[in-house]
Amino acid sequence: MKNLLAKYGLDPDAMPRHIAIIMDGNGRWARRRRLSRIEGHRHAVKAVRETVETCAELGLECLTLYAFSVENWSRPKREIDTLMRLLRRFIREETPNLMKNRIRFRAIGRRKPLPPEVIRDLRELERKTAHNDGLTVALAVNYGSRTEIADAAKRCAAKVRRGELSLRQINDETFGDYLYTRGLPDPDLLIRTSGEHRISNFLLWQASYAEFWVTPVLWPDFRRKHLIEAIKEYGRRERRFGGVG
């Protein structure tokens, strides 16, 4: 592993455990080529595949990808239907690679509004990869951080009402156990493509001390070299977590 990191000029003592990515720019990528937005989503699959493979190769612990937000339901039905078909196709085609690379898959977000066949495929992929011991890939589908925090608060309140949890027991650590991301480390590095400087309702609780890296590269064009560049920049930063350097 050290030889591999050295190949890319990465410091093994300055590697993130968890990278989260806001995959933005599919629509603009398509417009610049006079294609439909749907074509932008189709070409984005290659960026997802290369990013997952690179993170697994580098020995990262976790990668979270923002695939579909709770706000995305306002998009045209044809686009949403295509996104769901692409997701199912990706699951079907990538399962052998995930198993080969010992990648554990996990879906985060509200599942109930998703099509039944999508829910079934997500659950099946989680089941198949549950015992893999490599990179964990968390796919945020029908995800919104405010929704996540509200859902966590409701679960806490329900336990308090049943007498299973006291107010005294609720703190930053215990509250995190009620989030969709329970059991995952907080992201160290948050990447956003397409040059936008917004967090877009993504991991608001978890990314409180994440390092941000924004690139003008549109997501369908995002490749290994861009990921390596982001990790290098992360390694040059001093993380103080509110303390003194």
pLDDT digits (tens, 9 = 90+) for 2-59: 778 888 899 999 999 999 999 999 999 999 999 999 999 999 999 999 999 999 999 9
Residues linked to residue 7 through DSSP beta bridges, in sequence order: none
Rg (C-alpha) for the chain, rounded Å, is: 18
* CATH hierarchy code of domain 17-233: 3.40.1180.10
**Which token pair is 184?**
């995952």
pLDDT digits (tens, 9 = 90+) for 76-120: 999 999 999 999 999 999 999 999 999 999 999 999 999 999 999
pLDDT digits (tens, 9 = 90+) for 57-73: 999 999 999 999 999 99
pLDDT digits (tens, 9 = 90+) for 186-202: 999 999 999 999 999 99
User: For the residues 121-130, what does the mean pLDDT come to?
Assistant: 98
If one counts every other C-beta atom within 10 angstroms of the C-beta of residue 86, the result is: 17
Residue 7: the pLDDT is: 87
Which of 3, 26, 72, 133 is labelled catalytic? 72
Is 171 a residue of the active site? no
Which of 11, 13, 24, 26 is labelled catalytic? 24
Is 26 a residue of the active site? no
Residue 245 pLDDT greater than 80, yes or no = no
Q: Where are the domains of the chain?
A: 17-233
Residue 43: the pLDDT is: 95
Residue 244: the pLDDT is: 65
Residue 213 three-state SS: strand
User: For the residues 236-242, what does the mean pLDDT come to?
Assistant: 80
Task: Return all residues near 65 (Cβ < 8 A) that are at least 6 apart.
Answer: 20, 21, 23, 48, 51, 137, 138, 139, 140
